[in-house]
Every structure is written in C-alpha cells, then in structure tokens.
Structure 1
Amino acid sequence: MENKILNHHQIEHIIRRIAYQILEANVDEKKIIIAGIDGGGLDFAKKIQQVLKQITEADILLCKVSMDKKNPLKSGVTTSMSADEYNNGSIVLVDDVLNSGSTLIYGVHHFLKTPLKQLKTAVLVNRNHKKYPVKADYKGISLSTSLQEHVHVQFQPKKDVVYLD
C-alpha cells in the first residue's frame, strides 16, 4: 500500500524554499551551478533552476551528473560540464532522495577534485539511513523509515508526488 508523503503543491513549496536558501547562501555570486544526479535528482535540479532564474539575475547553470547508482566506484562519475567550467565555482549537488548517502558522497568526491568556492547538497527527501558521512545542506523533509520501506518520487507536469511503500 502506498502512502502519499508529499503532494504537488507541497513539493512546489519545498522547491521555492530551497531555491531561496540557495540564493541566500550565494547572494554575491554571478554564477551558480545546480548539479543534478541523473534521474530524479536531475528532475529536481531543473525545478530548482527554474525558480532561481525567476528570483536572481545570476546565471543559473544546470549540470547533469551521471553514475551507476548501484556501483558508482566501477562506473565512475561524469558531468555534462567540464571541470574548467565549474572551477572555483559555487555548486549545489542535487538528488531526489538521500538514502545511504553513497550517490551524494561519490558526487561530492567528483567535484572536490577541482578547486571550488562552495559545494552544498540538496535533497527532496532525507531518509536518515546514511552509511557515509554526508548530509543534505538543503532538504525538503526528513523521514524516519524502516530499511524495508521505499520512497518513490514522481516528477510529472502538475502532478509531482512522493510516496512511501
């Protein structure tokens, strides 16, 4: 049985709040890079980017972060931007759900190979089952769930929803 955790309106509110928090932390930046982890993280990143473009004059660039989520060490991490493009920049690494932390930690590790001004993380749902010392700087909600439960995020036009089953 699926339980709805967040509806479309609640997700929109969270996206706006996170966008304003990102702007507040980057108020003097001319360029902010929103790096979305392919899949739900990239979809979430695009929504944050849209709001940021409405509320700031800064360039808000989207970077796609790709990896094999089941085995990130084997596949490695690749990005749609070169290291030169984000060198000494301000980056927000975005994923939809923070579960064990492995996806975020490998994403963070990739970006830390290049000098940066700032690197923050954002997630829609923080499940609190971390295996790695990574935290979400910006989070929509925190859920205390069992390991058997699954969080499903669906981004669809005007029908975004988060379920727990």
Structure 2
Amino acid sequence: MESSIILTNEQIKNKTRRIAYQIYETNCNEKEIIIAGINGNGYVFAQNIATILNSISDLNVVLCEVLIDKKNPIKKISTSIHSNEYKNKSLVLVDDVLNSGTTLIYGIKHFLEVPLKRFKTAVLINRNHKKYPVKADFKGISLSTSMQEHINVIFDTENAYAILE
C-alpha cells in the first residue's frame, strides 16, 4: 500500500502555531492554563503547543500528560499532575489524530470528574470518522479518509510529518 505525506514539517509547525494562538485568544483573560496531552503523540503535540504558548503569552502554562490505554480506554486513566492542580482551571485536552473519538471521549470523561472553568479539545488532524459525539475545538486539518486508511504522525526532533497509509 502506498503512503503519501499529508502534512510536512513546516505545515505542522504552522498549524501548531495557529492552534496555540487560538488557545491563547480563547483564554486571554486567564492567568493559568492546563495543556493536557494524551500519552504518545498527543503529549508531544501538547508540548509543542505549550512551548509556543509560553513564547507568545504571559499565561502560566502547565503541561500535563494523560495516561490512557488506547487499546482499552475503559481502564483507569491517570494524569501526571494531581487533579487539584487543574480544578477550576481552563484545560485543553490534546491529541494528534481524532479518528473514531474513542480516546478523546474517555479522556473527556476523566476530566468531567473535576470541576473545570473551561474545557476545550485540540487535535492536529481530524479524520471525520467519529463513533462518539466529540469534536475538536481547535484542529490543524480536517481530512475525509476511508476506514481502511491510517494516518501516522511522526514527531522527530528535527523533522515532523504526517502520512496517510
């Protein structure tokens, strides 16, 4: 099966910067924001967003890793910071690809157990194959693909890209 590049390193950088600005615009009256990345590529993408937010704003950006078993998301979910650190704060849940919505919906469920001031979601690629009624508030690109196709995002230190396989 052939694979084709759908996002280059430069395009990913531009989309990440745009998402960071959108997050800042939505939270410009806040003092602190929690950027919660789903383990794996979601967390790497969250780190990239947090880096840009730190450079463009005076927000106190707190990075949080959401530890979820993507093959069995019903298992207990945990975070790298205690729930008291995001209670009554603005939080953005970040993942690289929104495919069926399973990972994101279980991540959202976890954060619903704590009162939040504002809750948003961000993804680099939205695939439009949702099983669950979940949407990305901030997205880099929306892509209609077949269920047989797979999107793989590679975050290398020097070069990031997304391919459709």
- SS at 1:154's partner residue? strand
- Percent of pairs with identical residues: 57
Other-structure match for 2:12: 11
* TM-aligned CA deviation for residue 157 of structure 1: 1.7
Other-structure match for 1:150: 150
Cα deviation digits, residues 38-93 of structure 1 (max 9, x gap): 001000000000000001111101000011101111x2211011111100000000
**Paired AA for residue 41 in structure 2:** G
Other-structure match for 2:21: 20
- SS at 2:16's partner residue? helix
Please list every run of 5 or more consecutive structure 2 residues that lacks an aligned counterpart in the other structure.
none
- SS at 2:29's partner residue? coil
**Paired AA for residue 32 in structure 2:** K
C-alpha separation between the residues in 2 aligned to 1:114 and 1:152?
A: 32
Cα deviation digits, residues 8-40 of structure 1 (max 9, x gap): 000000000000000000001100100000001
C-alpha separation between the residues in 1 aligned to 2:54 and 2:110?
A: 26
C-alpha separation between the residues in 2 aligned to 1:63 and 1:39?
A: 12
- SS at 1:51's partner residue? helix
C-alpha separation between the residues in 1 aligned to 2:113 and 2:82?
A: 12
Q: Aligned residues, how many?
A: 164
C-alpha separation between the residues in 1 aligned to 2:48 and 2:111?
A: 22
Other-structure match for 1:2: 3
Please list every run of 5 or more consecutive structure 1 residues that lacks an aligned counterpart in the other structure.
none
C-alpha separation between the residues in 2 aligned to 1:62 and 1:88?
A: 16
**Paired AA for residue 34 in structure 1:** I
* TM-aligned CA deviation for residue 158 of structure 1: 2.6
Structure 2-normalised TM-score?
0.98
- SS at 2:105's partner residue? helix
Q: Flag as ranges the 4+ runs of structure 1 deviating above 3 A.
A: none
**Paired AA for residue 104 in structure 1:** L
